[in-house]
Structure 1
Amino acid sequence: MKNINKLTQYILIFMILGIGVGFVINKWFGIASQQIWSENITLLTDVFLNLIKMVIAPLIFCTLTSGIMKLKDISAIRNIGGRAISWFLVASILSIFIGLLMVVLINPGGGMNLISTDVQSLNVETSSLSFRAFISHMIPTSIVGAMANNEILQIVIFALFFGIAGASIPQQQNEQLVSLLEGISNTMLKVTNIVMLFAPFAIFASISAIIATQGLDVLLNYTKFIFGFYTTILITSLILILLGYLFIKEKVFTLASMLKNPILVAFSTTSSEAAYPKTLEQLIKFGCSKNLASFVLPLGYSFNLVGSMCYCSFSAMFIAQAYDIQLSNSEIFTLMLTLMLASKGIAGVPRSALVVLAATLPSFNIPASGILLLMGIDHILDMGRSAINVLGNGITTAVISHNVEGLKNPELELEQPLLG
């Protein structure tokens, strides 16, 4: 626990240093120097994210497959999956509704009175959102290709087939394969611990680069929007914790405390994916079944992006307000439903929330060019989206683990079998 606290302290210190250094460079150096700093220092962030991505594919495959193989009972897999999808649906509705309610109350786009302009290209690919393309894309043509591209949903699909098939092979072979897969997953978690030592430097690089090129103005401009969105994120987080409290009582506060490290990483790097290995490790230490956590958490990364859904509803209505577009109650309901469904197919898509907005807004006569209002601050907003995604998936996994088989002893070591 001391090591976790020390790493958290370093992350916070390097975040503050990043803001300070970025401010100095933005204030006293020319644009050319700012660009040079930003382009070069972000190499540290790129290296860190690449190191994390290096671990994710084998970790998800090995933990999920071994978990399914040890469950053995197909009805148990169906039961857990059903509970997870039900929770995801509730979380989706809540997060979208809260985003809608807050944007109406705060009205950050009111008074802007913008006039729609034709924008030929927003540099945001929307074709990936079609239902046909999504269903086709979720089935991997090659597991090697899926792992190479870190396609989480494709890896999950293959692992489901592999794990179910592995559960039906003779017991001795099953145990040998499970032992091998668990050995690899435990090794990947050890690798993650090493990689996390590099996190403070990557966070410093990411923060200093954005402040150096855009200055503190990126925080001051759109103050009402940023304040409103982060208030929405905070309220959604509190409601998720309250829901968790209904099932696991005071333990939800312990869980939130244990997840602060992965949340900080996701917040600072704008990547909930970067926090996946540490989130899984903390959930197991918290007492979740390793096999169940390995099954539910990857599903959450594909279908439980509560931060992105909050952002989509908040931003869609903000753009409508900015262009003074009035939507009827039925149109608002349809827009929210469309955003909820569209958000399920964008895991791993670059600037995924903007992709959803660009594809959805024109159907409701809201100018897609309105997302240009958000692009300048999208990095700041993405920090909050990524952080709450980690919290939401962590609480979901803990609640389902508790309902299915109860929480284990938090003192269990990772190397010990947690099920069966």
Structure 2
Amino acid sequence: MDRRLTFYILMGMLLGVIVGQGLHMMVDAATIKADIAPWLKLLSDIFLNLIKLLVAPLVLSTIVVGIAHMGDSTALGRIGVRALAWFITASLISIGLGLIMVNLLKPGVGAPIPDVAAAAKAVGEVKHLNAPEFILSIFPKNAFDAMATNNILQILVFSIFAGVALSAIGEKGKPLVRGADALAEMMLQITGYVMRYAPIAVFGALANVVAASGLEILKTYLELLVEFYLSLALLWIILLGIGAIFLGKRIITLIRYIRQPMMIAFSTASSEAALPKMFEQLDRFGVPRRISGFMLPLGYSFNLDGSMMYMSFATIFIAQAYNIDLPVATQIMILLTLMISSKGIAAVPRASLVVITGTLAMFGLPVEGVAIILAIDQFLDMGRTATNVVGNAVATSVITKWEGMLEPEEGEFVEHPHAPAHTAADGRAGLELDPSNYN
């Protein structure tokens, strides 16, 4: 089924480009916008709505079960510290590499300057949170509101409190833990049903974009696209190379397992769309659910490697387009600003553009320059979203290996020499193992 789904997703992507280009060539723009685009967009919007339906209960249940079965608060704290250390390092690598590549390649030199009024209308009102407002926004005042709005960061905070509390009260909390475990399994079963619709959604998403803009948009911005994707490729090499240091040859297996969530993220430009499938594939790779249930939601808020590279790349690109020479000290300040302001943005629509616009305004750069990249942001977003998936998969797998909790992938029955007898399914269902084995 997995290989067939991969094939169908690839076919959906190919047919979406072909049909979109055909419509662009044969039908006038007004007709496409009024009569055709809404139906194509509907195909992908249904899928994204179904995915958003899954996100809140899936994240809540997996984090609660993961923490409740962590064994002790020391293990949780150790994993959290190691995760944050990885996220900060990966963030610096991503943003730093983006700055280096955009300064070397200079894709913004000679870029077309858009109409200021049209740019302001396209970008809309930008709300850039200051540090106190951002910190306050992390803590939910209503857990149900956080879940209703799919605010991953707030759900994460509530779930950590709930998981730690259930672990502390012991036997009294077992019914709720079992209920959360059953909820997680139910949501993953629903995920399997939703994923069967993914090829149709992919077709609709790409056909809609190409029908509206045509392949000419790729030619117009070919230099920016090629150079940005080259930078992403270098970032992939670095992230996977670091992952290989910890995982060895299993890094190849990990790449094979995450290709489906990666393609879903790439074709829909939505991290949420890939999250449920990512849980399933990391289960198969051998990451216990109590680890992935904690790491993935945390990573989707703090470890957006592709988005952070894009933000540094795009900010300097806009300065180059307006022939503004930024000294190294200013670029370093921009790097640090992006490091802070990019955290917790995953739940915000077109979040990267919002952060870029706020950063431009903060440093006195032309905000209207965002409209230069707005026309092809969909194509840029596809690459950075897929990179976010790769970065979070590597981070989760490395931390699991670092903790000594990585199990054999499905289909292998190699027993850990120091672990008690158990099946891979036991570990992924959240059954508690001896914490001494994780040191």
Q: Normalising by structure 1, what TM-score?
A: 0.96
| Alpha-carbon offset, residue 419 of structure 1 | 3.7
Among 12, 20, 23, the alignment partner of 2:21 is 23
Q: Distance in 2 between matches of 1:386 and 1:291?
A: 24
Q: 1:329 to 1:199 in 2, by over 3 A?
A: same
| Root mean square deviation, CA, Å | 1.7
Tell me what 1:203 maps to.
Answer: 202
Other-structure match for 1:34:
32
* CA distance in 2 between partners of 1:115 and 1:201 (Å): 34
* 2:421 alignment partner in structure 1: none
CA distance in 2, matches of 1:124, 1:117: 12
Quick one: distance in 1 between partners of 2:30 and 2:112? 35
Equivalent residue letter for 1:311: Y
Shift of 1:74: 1.3
In the alignment of these two chains, the number of paired residues is 417
Contact 1:66–1:181, Cα closer than 8 Å, also in 2: yes
Q: Does 1:130 align with 2:142?
A: no
Conserved? CA contact 1:316–1:361, under 8 Å: yes
1: CA distance, partners of 2:36 / 2:29:
10
Structure 2 gaps, min length 5: 411-423, 434-439
Query: Which residue of 2 is the match for residue 188 of structure 1?
Result: 187
2:8 counterpart (7, 10, 29)? 10
**Contact map agreement 1:152 1:298 (CA 8 A) in 2:** yes
Structure 1 position 130, deviation (Å): 2.0
**Residue equivalent to 1:379:** 378
Deviation at 1:126, TM superposition (A): 3.0
**1:223-242 Cα shifts (integer Å, max 9, x gaps):** 11011111111111111100
Query: Separation in 1 of the partners of 2:281 and 2:26?
Result: 42
Q: Would the aligned equivalents of 2:73 and 2:164 in 1 still touch at CA under 8 Å?
A: yes
| Inter-partner Cα distance in structure 1 for 2:260 and 2:127 | 35
Q: CA deviation at 1:111?
A: 3.3
Conservation of the 8 A alpha-carbon contact between 1:44 and 1:202: yes
Partner of 2:305: 306
Report 1:193-272 matches (<5 A): 193-272=192-271
3-state SS, counterpart of residue 238 of structure 1 = helix
1:362, distance to aligned residue in structure 2 (A):
2.5
1:413 corresponding residue in structure 2: 425
Q: How far 1:333 sits from its partner (Å)?
A: 0.8
Q: Which amino acid aligns with 2:142?
A: S
* Residue pair 2:114, 2:369 contacting (<8 A) in 1 also: no
Once the two structures are superposed, residues 153-182 of structure 1 have per-residue CA deviations (whole angstroms, 9 ceiling, x without a partner) of 1110000111111111132x3333222211
What is the SS of the residue equivalent to 1:127? coil
Residue 89 (structure 2) pairs with residue 90 (structure 1): yes
The residue number in structure 2 matching 1:149 is 149
In structure 1, what is the Cα distance between the partners aligned to 2:26 and 2:390? 38
Report deviation, 1:183: 1.0
Alignment correspondent of 1:370: 369
Distance 1:210 1:288 in 2: 36
Whole-angstrom distance in 1 between the partners of 2:269 and 2:114: 31
Task: Output aligned runs, 1:55-94, within 5 Å.
Answer: 55-94=54-93
What is the rounded CA distance, in whole Å, between the counterparts of 1:273 and 1:339 in structure 2? 22
* Distance of 1:230 and 1:302 partners within structure 2: 23
Is this contact kept in 2: 1:115–1:323, CA < 8 A?
no
On the 8 A contact 1:129/1:356 being kept in 2, the answer is no
Question: Is the 1:125–1:355 contact (alpha carbons within 8 Å) kept by the matching residues of 2?
Answer: no
CA distance in 2 between partners of 1:60 and 1:237 (Å): 26
| Equivalent-residue separation in structure 2 for 1:295 and 1:79 (angstroms) | 12
Q: Name structure 1 gaps, 5 residues minimum.
A: none
Which is further off, 373-382 or 356-365?
356-365
Shift of 1:296: 0.8
Task: Tell whether the 8 Å contact from 2:66 to 2:430 is kept in structure 1 after alignment.
Answer: no
Deviation at 1:125, TM superposition (A): 4.0
% same residue? 40
**Counterparts in 2 of 1:271 and 1:114: CA distance versus 1, 3 Å:** closer
Deviation at 1:406, TM superposition (A): 3.1
- Quick check: 2:128–2:355 contact (8 Å CA) kept in 1? no
Deviates most, 176-185 or 270-279: 176-185
In 2, are the aligned partners of 1:114 and 1:324 still within 8 Å (CA)? no
Structure 2 residue matching 1:348: 3-state secondary structure: coil
Q: Which moved more, 1:360-369 or 1:349-358?
A: 360-369
Residues 1:399 and 2:398 aligned together: yes
Which amino acid is 1:413 matched to?
A
**1:301-326 CA-partner distances (Å, limit 9, x unpaired):** 00001111010111111111111111
